[in-house]
Chains A and B, each alone.
Chain A
């Protein structure tokens, strides 16, 4: 990953990152120190705090997403992505159970998307 030119390595992003607060090393570790190797672009809770706090306006989120697409994903992400491809939703929902559950709560019925919809929209053939 190329270190962004706009980054002045001030480390503000590290101080606001909730992952760093519990001992994980996220992309912000690399921003503060381009020599660092013990970090992962997958360790992120998508809170956007680093980008918001960045004094030079580095688009950290975009940078992270671009790098993720070049790397193997951890199981949790891979599984969730496969679910979206298989049923359109990140969690598998059974129509019958959903109907019963919603009826019990007095909520209007919901029709689930057709299973292949995400593949069609993302143009990812089976």
Chain B
């Protein structure tokens, strides 16, 4: 089976490990991905904040997928998933579709808006049983847990890897458009993590946005949202998400969160490794760490 793949700006440029691990896991399920060539930004919220014409930018990307002959495009960020799905819906309106096609014509493209957009969480959740059957070993907990980490709720040290998840907001909402899982309290990411054998830590912020998009408007508030999350997940061995924006804020900007003067020296260190869902799933499937973009020492 072959699907189109739309990584989005952020993952394309900065997170090849997310693409590599997504491909590696899907390959195990017999799915090959073909990247969309000459793709642009999906359009939201950046372009949408300036013009209602954002939908034509999204339509262009959907038109590229149609030209490839694919009827499914796989996404890995919540934002691109949401934007492309809303655009496909908007293109069901004949007038909007006609206008999109007028703009696409000089480029030799047409759009019907029939492409299905599938975030990697949804794609994997729809193959949950097949994945479960392929799990060969649960991902191991860190060799040494930080000395200040609180004792395990369940009792004994060691045991299972403890994971704090952040659901990719926009892959589930708006619910009437995305049509997948519970839009306010989605369960599919949790179930996928649990099937690897890891333990999902309840910290109350699973459905709270990481705050990455807020960074464009107010850095301080955005980092505060990230800090709120890091403070809540002290019991966890690592963070896990399935969106480039979450990784950007919660992992890449972790040093800003911690070094922002809002982190007193006498507190326990808030820093944590962070994995993308396919990296954890890949480990459970027995795929080599290098193939998943996991270097020894950086996450364990």
The answer to whether B106 touches A22, judged by C-beta atoms less than 8 angstroms apart, is no
A contact residues, range: 35 or more
A residues contacting B by CB (< 8 A) are: 18-19, 21-24, 40, 42-49, 51-53, 61, 65, 68-69, 73-74, 76-77, 80-81, 84, 88-91, 93, 98, 101-102, 105-108, 110-114, 117-118, 120-124
Which residues B1-26 have CB closer than 8 A to chain A? 9-10, 12-14, 16-17, 19-20, 23
What are 7 A-B contacts with C-beta separation under 8 Å?
A45-B212, A68-B49, A76-B216, A105-B16, A107-B16, A118-B40, A121-B40
- Of B19, B40, B52, B213, the residue contacting A84 (CB under 8 A) is B40
Q: Which of B209, B211, B217 has the most C-beta atoms of chain A within 10 angstroms of its own C-beta?
A: B217
With A22-B224, A102-B16 as known contacts, state yes or no: A77 contacts B217, CB within 8 Å: yes
The answer to whether B46 touches A81, judged by C-beta atoms less than 8 angstroms apart, is yes
The answer to whether B169 touches A69, judged by C-beta atoms less than 8 angstroms apart, is no
With A46-B170, A48-B174, A52-B184 as known contacts, state yes or no: A19 contacts B214, CB within 8 Å: yes
Stretch at the interface among B31-39, B68-76, B129-137, B142-150: B31-39
With A19-B225, A43-B217, A93-B12 as known contacts, state yes or no: A122 contacts B38, CB within 8 Å: no
Identify whether the interface residues of A are mostly helix, strand, loop, or mixed. Answer: loop
The answer to whether B211 touches A84, judged by C-beta atoms less than 8 angstroms apart, is no
CB distance from B76 to the nearest CB of A (A): 13
What's the Cα separation between A117 and B63 when bound, in Å?
14
Q: Which 6 A-B pairs have the closest CB atoms?
A: A76-B216, A48-B173, A47-B209, A47-B169, A88-B40, A22-B224
The answer to whether A44 touches B10, judged by C-beta atoms less than 8 angstroms apart, is no
With A68-B49, A121-B56 as known contacts, state yes or no: A49 contacts B217, CB within 8 Å: no
What's the Cα separation between A28 and B183 when bound, in Å?
19
